[in-house]
Amino acid sequence: MSAPTLAAVMADADVIHDRATLETAIQDMADAIQAEYADDERPPLYVTIMNGGMPFATQLAFALGDRGLDLEFDYLHATRYRGSTSGSRLAWLHRPATPMRGRRVLLVDDILDEGHTLKAVTRWCEDEGAADVRVAVLATKVHDRCVDGVCADWSGVDVPDRYVFGYGMDYNEQGRNLPAIYALAD
């Protein structure tokens, strides 16, 4: 049995955060992040976690540029979902090519749910010699199932413990480009 189309689930989906709220949250995060890196001699290595992190990472990068913070870009693609609505074993599809030894790394992702992916990616960056690894996420899911020791240094908004999509997050690989965060109907 195939999953309902995006159009079908949108009819009953709830808007959790609209575009204006998300844009304000990103601007606030940019202020805090810029203050953290303002005195560094070398730009931080800004690593987007694909695919979900791309829309948020782009908006945050522009906001940081508006504040005069230069960034060096790379990306990684690690996933536990592969188009499904529940996670499985982590699959690395692409690792950053930029050397991390001695670098300050800023990982940027769409959501901190349970933290399995972020924990693995953070450990990998540390194993590659990163001097400091920080995490910025657009959304943090509110529940009590987080992996011990995993948290975001910067988070834009909280979302309920429901299946959310939009602004990078997908519903069966659909809806990543929606300009708001939605939740499936209960």
| Structure confidence by residue, pLDDT tens digits, 162-171 | 999 999 999 9
Mapped onto helix, strand or coil, the DSSP state of residue 28 is: helix
Amino acid 152: pLDDT: 95
Amino acid 89: pLDDT: 76
Report field, pTM of the whole predicted structure over 0.95:
no
Residue 25 belongs to domain spanning: 16-81+88-183
Residues 6+ apart with CB under 8 A from 126: 133
113 included as an active-site residue? yes
Amino acid 83: pLDDT: 52
Domains contained in the chain, number = 1
Give me the helices (H) in the chain, please: 6-10, 19-37, 53-66, 116-127
Structural domain contains residue 117: yes
Structural domain contains residue 10: no
- Quick check: 155 and 134 in contact, CB under 8 A? no
Higher-pLDDT residue of 86 and 176 is: 176
Find the catalytic residue in 66, 113, 161, 170: 113
> Is the predicted pLDDT of residue 85 greater than 70, yes or no?
no
Sign of the CA dihedral running 29, 32, 36, 41 = positive
Structural domain contains residue 75: yes
Of the chain, the percentage scoring pLDDT greater than 90 comes to 84
H helices, E strands: number in the chain: 4, 9
Task: Write the CATH number for 69.
Answer: 3.40.50.2020
